[in-house]
Amino acid sequence: MTLTKTEPLSVKFGMGIHEFDDEGRMITCEFSDFNVINVYFPNAGEGLKRLDFKLSFNKAFEQYVNSLPKPSIICGDFNVAHEEIDIARPKDNVNHAGFTPQEREWFHHFLGMGFVDTYRMFVKEGGHYSWWSYRFHAREKNIGWRIDYCVISEKLKDRVTSADILESVMGSDHAPVTLDIT
């Protein structure tokens, strides 16, 4: 969700690709000097049944973002724990949806194209997560995954004043992630 006191110059739903846009995964709000993109990446699914679909979405998303003339603020559920510190039990979850080498490699590649994981600008250690299973009291035990991100174009990096995960906010299996820029 985007809450703004400034009316966007434009609002676009999806990225213009029917097979992805049918699932209602993305909103782009254009402002004078940047875009805000809210996105819900596909989950690779049980048995990785949708891994190919997710990787296709990732590639299309990458092309879409790179086609925009303004820098971007991208927030949402990327459905991938990027590094081992982003998941409570990395060795137990290798090759599970959200922690496959392909998903992690794509995210690493995406960041390498000139994007910044804003949370890691401020917090370098693990143990901080944005999603916990409803099963086995995972949240109480902090057995979670960091799969929700605010990622920005490198050009906006100096404008970031804070980024956080509001781990104590209850009501969902996800915790809100925040980003403040000037």
- Among 21, 64, 77, 148, the active-site one is 77
Answer yes or no: 40 catalytic.
yes
Task: Give 58's DSSP letter.
Answer: H
Q: Which fold has domain 10-181?
A: Deoxyribonuclease I; Chain A (3.60.10)
Q: Is the pTM of the predicted complex or chain greater than 0.75?
A: yes
Residue 33, token pair as written in the block = 């000097």
Report in angstroms the alpha-carbon separations of 100 from 34, 47, 56, 85, 161: 32, 11, 15, 15, 32
Query: How would residue 4 be classed by pLDDT, with cut points 50, 70 and 90?
Result: confident
pLDDT in tens, 105-160: 999 999 999 999 999 999 999 999 999 999 999 999 999 999 999 999 999 999 99
End-to-end Cα separation, the chain, in angstroms = 19
- Among 21, 22, 40, 164, the active-site one is 40
Pairing of β 160-165 and β 148-153:
unpaired
pLDDT in tens, 61-107: 999 999 999 999 999 999 999 999 999 999 999 999 999 999 999 99
pLDDT at 95: 95
Answer yes or no: 158 catalytic.
no
Report in angstroms the alpha-carbon separations of 81 from 1, 21, 142: 21, 24, 15
C-alpha span between 91 and 105 (Å, rounded): 17
